[in-house]
Each structure stands twice: as C-alpha cells, then as structure tokens.
Structure 1
Amino acid sequence: MHCKYYRLVSGIIVLILMLTGCGNWQPTGADNNLTSQSSASLNGNNTFPSSQKNMSSTLSLGALSNLTSIHMINAMTGWALSQGSLLRTINGGVSWTNVTPKGVVSTSEGTLSAYDAQTIWVVFNKESSTSITVYRTTDGGQKWESAEINTTPWYGRVTSLDFFDLTHGWLLASYDVSMGVESVEVFQTNDSGASWKSNASAIIGQKPSNALPLAGSKNGLVFSNQKNGWLTGFSHGDGIWLYSSSDEGRTWSQKTIVTPKGYHTDGGAVSTEPPHFFNQKEGVLPVEFRGEKPPAFVFYRTEDWGLSWTPTTPVQTANKSQEYRGFHWSIIDSTHAFVSDGYQLYFTSDGSHSFVSVTPNISLAKLQQLDFTSEKLGWAIIDGGLWRTMDGGHTWVQI
C-alpha cells in the first residue's frame, strides 16, 4: 500500500512540474539524450557531465542471439553484449533484461569492464566518429552516466577498457591499422570515468610518445594496480610481444619472455592476450603459439608483480591434421581454469601444471567465449548463442 501510494503522489508531482515548466526535466526519447558537449579529457569535474535513466525490458523467448561476449559476476548475476545491446541477468542466464543506454546505435560494437553485479563501464563504438562515449552504471543499468572523450581528428575505436577499482581506469583507443602497425592512444581516468586524459599515443606519421609501440597489433590493456599496466598483442617480427608500464601508462617498455623449449616465435606466430591478476603479485598471461603444428596454448605465471613470467604446461590440439580453430579460456582462480581448442575442453586444478580432457556433448567448432564461475558452472557463446553447463563442461544446454 505504501509503495502504491508513493508512486501515485510522485506521478502527480512530476505531472505538475512538466505542466508548469519547473525543474530540469528532459524528453526521454532516444533522439533527445542528455550528452556532454565538452571533451571529458578536458573536464576536471568529479561527477559525470551527463546522466540518464533507462527503461529496461525483459527479452522475449528467442531474442537472445548474436551475442559477442558474456561476463558473469557470480552464479546468478552477469552481463552480456550483443551487437548494439547490453544485457543483464539475475537468475543465472535463464532470462535477460536489455539495459542498453539510450541512444546507442543497434549496430555498434561494445566493450565493457564489469566491476560487480551493479557497476560496469561500457563503450559502444561509433562509426566514423571523432569522439568516444563512456557509460557508467552503479545500479544494474537503471540509470546511466556518460562522459565524452574527444579524439579529433582521429576516428577512435575502443578495443580495451579496464578498471581495477571503482576509481581508476584505462582504455585503449585504436585509430588506424596498416602494414603491421596500429595507431593507438592510452587514456586514463582517476575519477571513476567522469573525465579522461591521454597518457601516451603512437600515431602513424607522428613520433610515438613515451615508447608506446607503433608496430604490432594490440588486443588488450590491463592494469594490476594503479601503477603497473600491460599491453598485449602480436607483431610480424620474432619474439613474444608484451609491453609494460610502471607509471600509470605514461611510459612503456618491451618485456622479454622466455619461449618454451621446442617452440618458435618467428614472424608473428605468437599472440599474447591480456593477463589476469589474482592479486597485485600473482597472475597469469595467456600466450597462443599459432605457428606450431599442432598449435599450442600456454599460461605464463608470475609471482613477482610481472617482473618475470614462467611458462606452464602447454595445451595442444590433439591431432596435427585438425584445422586450427583458435583457443578460448576461462580463469576461475589461481589454480582452476578451462581451456578449449575448439574440439575439446581441458581443465586444470593445479595452476596449469597439468590438464585433464573433457569431452562435451556438443560441437565447439564455432566457440566464441568461455566463462566459468566455478569448477562445475559455466557458460559458452557458440555461434552467437548462449549455452550453460552445470557439470564441468560435459553436458551443455542452450539457453
């Protein structure tokens, strides 16, 4: 009764304000979004320059398709991205609610950083745009705040977004890719995403700043704490491609990684992927040796803040004649993880020193992502559709 009464009174007050022109109410249509008119990289405020409320809607049966990524926080709550949409579940993926910020184009590709069940940051890349919009929610997608980053004259596309706490975050903007080089810029926020500043850039035709590499294709930017960051990818040169920063992403240096005996790193045969840190000292670095026959996947481990990385037991495709399908993995904690080569699942419970093979009841040929929250419970995106397992990957059921 109290809830119904409150809503009725609130509705009357809102109607009076709208009719009298008082307050600061704005149209809620998608074409009338509140957006910041100034670049967030120049905005020193500690509050977001723009905010909006979102009218979420539950997806109908069969609407969950064309997924690009999933990020489960725990067994019940998580986030997922499809083309131009952000989805949220609170029942283990059985049903999903569309919580996309208003004004996002349906064809936009999204990148997100999920902090917990209520708080995430997300970017939807805009075609041929010289600005980047960073959205944040702290209430599960009901209300959104946004800030703009001006990238003029470059068309920016965010390829990595990372927050290691509620305040400090980084994003990697890609501007151009050409003949083995990629123009990129690293942005940082110290106020939860309300404002952003450029820390370093490498632009084709310009002198790279602060040793940020121009050569190579970059695929990830991750920070283990406020100071130490990692830039991953691959190049057409020899060696394992990895750069690190110890000053919040302002200067960068190349790391030397030991190659396992019997493996080669010639001409872009190796790709590093963003590391996962369990704490500031311990973490794993996924490395894919695509030039081997058969291809192999290795978790490198660090126990000294990333000063050194040691390879663990490789996961290899069982049959040399099988086509390369790419590796996918999900890290549960410091000792448990799953890896797939597109044929089998492999599980480790001892920090990647050994793996056991798991044969699933479905084909993994079009596997896009794995996401496990425990040794038994996990999700997979296969050809845009969502599947769930409750027995460690043996049996999968489509959601």
Structure 2
Amino acid sequence: MMSMGKTRQKSTRARRLVAALGLAGAVLALAPAVPAGATPVGTAPAGAREPAPGAWQLTTTGTDARFRGLAPVSRSVAWAAGSKGTVLRTADGGQSWRNVSPAGVGELEFRDVEAFDARRAVVLAIGEGEASRVLRTEDGGQTWTESFRNTDPRAFYDCMTFFDHRHGLAMGDPVDGKFRILSTGDGGRSWRVLPDAGMPAARPGEAGFAASGQCLVSSGPKDVWLATGGGPAGRVLHSADRGLTWTATETTIPAGDGAKGVFGLAFRDRRHGLAVGGDYRPDQASPRAAAVTGDGGRGWTASATPPSAYRSGVAWLPQAKSTALAVGPTGTDLTTDGGRTWRTVDTGSYDTVSCTADGACWASGEKGRIARSVVR
C-alpha cells in the first residue's frame, strides 16, 4: 500500500506539470547540431539552463528523419525509431543522441519501438510483404537481429506492444477479413501468427493507422486494445487474454474513409482509457477527435471539448489519474479531467507522446523532432 506521504508527493508533481504546461507556449531549448554517426549526434552546450518544469524542451538529434516510434524508459533513457531505417538512443535525457540504426536497412520505415532498458529494444518496420519486419537488439543498438519478416504479400503490420519483458503482440491490417496478430513469448526473439478464430470480422475498408505506435496498446499482464479507422466508424477492439479472443466497440470518433478514425490509445489501467484521432489530411476538420472510457473500452464517450484538430498520439501523465497529453502535427493538448475537456498548450508538430514512471514525458515527430518534459 502506498503511504500518504508518497501520494501527496506524486499529486504535487502532477499539479506542477499541469501548471507548467498551462503556460502560453512551451520553452524550447535548441542545442547546436553535431554530425550524426556512431558517436553522439546531438549535444547540449555546457552549463545550459533547463526550461521550466513541464515545458517541452526540443533536443538536437542531428537528423531529419520522422520519428513515429518512441519508447522512453526513464527521464534519462529513450529510444526513437523512424523513417529511412533510423533508430536513435539517448542515455542522458536527450542532451546527446546516438545513431544506432541497423546496418543496411535505409529503405525501411520504422513506425514503432518498444524498449525494456538502455540495452534491449525491439523495432517494427511497416509495409506490404517483406517490408514488414521486426528487429531486436540486446547491446544498445550496436548489433541488431531480424526476428520476423513478413512473407505474406497480403499482410501489412502497423503497431506492437509488450505486456512485460517477454510477452508482446504486433498487429497487422485484415487478412481474409480479420486483423492479424503476431505473438512473442521470448522478448521478441521469435514470433508466431495467432489463430484468428476469436477475432471479430473487420468491416469493409477497416484498418489500423501506423501513425504513432499507439494503435495497439496494453495495460497489465493480459489486457490489450486495438484501434481502427477507415470503416463506417472508428472502433476499438479489446482482448483480455493476450490476443486470443477479442470484442469490438464503436467509438464516437468519426471514420468513413481511409483517412479517418482512431489513431492512438492510452490506458492508465485496465479500465480507464483515452482515444484520439480524426482526419489526418491537413485541409480537413476533425470534430469529435477524442473519446474516453471508464469500463475497459466496452463503451466510449465523446470528449465534451475535444482537441481542435487531428491528434495521433496520447499519453497519461505519470502518477496522475486525470491528466494526459495528446499530440499531432498542429500541436499538443492537455486534459486535467480525464479526457472530458482538452486545451492546446503548444503548437509544435509531434506524432507521438509517451511518459515514464519517474516523471518525464517525451514527444517525437517530423524533421527529427524529439522533445522532453520533466516534473521536478
């Protein structure tokens, strides 16, 4: 049982982050660029002052890759995976980044990364046929091993999630009318396609969005949720047995064509979840772009005041029961009431966001953008 002292400390930290994010605009600290390579690719100047608590601090990555895959481990350690086969890792809170990209995969499009610590990580490349692959490292990215290559030309993988250091899933768009699920029980060293007998039929045009690494998310040892779009309505599928059987529920987020639906999910426990999405086309409006659930995804309620535009990534703040961030190409939104209302707190472009238990949130996106926000 958590002591009252620790509870008060965590609540205070959450309030401080909320106050900082409520400032008009984020404080961005830009460090000078350093050439990429096997050495640090971005380094903050000595003696540089950190920004106000909770404000995004944009780091220098030394690359223009787009990072839709993000896996922070702590305030200090984070991994990012993106276009042109690029994988970066930091061990000093983003003051410097190392280019740890696998050799000879510049044609691959990494859209998700799951990291266990500073040395072990798994990355997912998307695409039709053999473009969909999984690679794994156990030495901080010095060497990589390909553990899965899709050989079915009909399959296209989008996202992955891990329940613990051993058990994980990856999801792909429908094949023969059902979403395809890969499973691993050894930390990503090997994968198998799960039987689809417990998977509901996909609707015409329905698929997942490989936009933020958050179309498949988990909470606890067995619960996992899958986000969809493209069909008649944005849906969320839930499994309570690590992907063997699923139930599907419509959300309030509109779909109807291949550009609209649910893009990102976040669950702070097996009951309380957030969904974000909309229409990713910049010239199209995205009404009702967020929804909330308090029953594990069996029912979804539209946010009374949703984000003002399409959002692809969402994350609960550490040790906060009602505070979360949502990000997209036009900015960052904050909720302090569990997703019922949102307000824009930053206008920088990000595709995905994730927070760590020790009080840090990270965001990444286009043109090499990776930022961090810390609660002191």
Shared fold (TM-score, shorter chain, > 0.5): yes
**SS of corresponding position for 1:67:** coil
**Are residues 1:188 and 2:177 paired?**
no
Match of 1:99 in 2: 100
Match of 1:243 in 2: 237
Q: Measure, in 2, the Cα distance between the counterparts of 1:192 and 1:186.
A: 16
Say if 1:368 and 1:380, in contact at 8 Å, map to a contact too. Answer: yes
Match of 2:81 in 1: 81
Distance 1:227 1:106, change over 3 A: same
**Are residues 1:63 and 2:62 paired?**
yes
Instruction: Give the alignment of 1:1-399 within 5 angstroms.
Output: 57-60=38-41, 63-69=62-68, 70-82=70-82, 83-102=84-103, 104-110=104-110, 111-125=112-126, 128-129=129-130, 133-149=133-149, 151-154=150-153, 156-174=155-173, 184-201=179-196, 210-213=199-202, 215=204, 216-219=206-209, 220-237=215-232, 239-257=233-251, 259=252, 265=254, 267-268=256-257, 271-279=261-269, 281-290=270-279, 295-302=287-294, 304-317=295-308, 326=311, 328-333=313-318, 334-340=321-327, 342-343=329-330, 345-358=332-345, 360=346, 364=348, 366-371=349-354, 378-381=361-364, 383-386=366-369, 388=371
Say if 1:379 and 1:386, in contact at 8 Å, map to a contact too. Answer: no
Say if 2:80 and 2:113, in contact at 8 Å, map to a contact too. Answer: no
Say if 2:78 and 2:93, in contact at 8 Å, map to a contact too. Answer: yes
**SS of corresponding position for 2:95:** coil
Q: Measure, in 1, the Cα distance between the counterparts of 2:71 and 2:277.
A: 22
Q: Measure, in 2, the Cα distance between the counterparts of 1:81 and 1:210.
A: 29
Deviations 1:112-159 (A, max 9, x none): 222333332113347752x8543233443345444235x444264421
Deviations 1:88-125 (A, max 9, x none): 001121211122234x4112111322233333211334
Distance 1:128 1:328, change over 3 A: closer
The residue identity in structure 1 corresponding to 2:38 is: S
Q: Measure, in 2, the Cα distance between the counterparts of 1:101 and 1:117.
A: 16
The residue identity in structure 2 corresponding to 1:297 is: A
**SS of corresponding position for 1:241:** strand
Q: Measure, in 2, the Cα distance between the counterparts of 1:247 and 1:376.
A: 30
Say if 1:235 and 1:241, in contact at 8 Å, map to a contact too. Answer: no
Deviations 1:261-304 (A, max 9, x none): xxx8473596223432323x3331313355996623324132x4
Say if 2:223 and 2:241, in contact at 8 Å, map to a contact too. Answer: yes
Deviations 1:161-211 (A, max 9, x none): 1111112111123477xxxx977421112222233222145xxxxxx8743
Shift of 1:256: 4.6
Q: Measure, in 2, the Cα distance between the counterparts of 1:211 and 1:68.
A: 31
Shift of 1:387: 5.0
Root-mean-square deviation (CA, aligned residues, Å) is: 3.8
- What is the count of residue pairs matched by the alignment? 306
Shift of 1:343: 4.7
Over the matched positions of the two proteins, sequence identity in percent amounts to 23
**SS of corresponding position for 1:112:** strand
Distance 1:312 1:143, change over 3 A: same
Shift of 1:312: 4.4
Distance 1:214 1:113, change over 3 A: farther
Larger Rg: 1
Say if 1:245 and 1:251, in contact at 8 Å, map to a contact too. Answer: yes
Between 1 and 2, higher relative CO (CA 8 Å, sep ≥ 6) is seen in: 2
Q: Measure, in 2, the Cα distance between the counterparts of 1:374 and 1:68.
A: 22
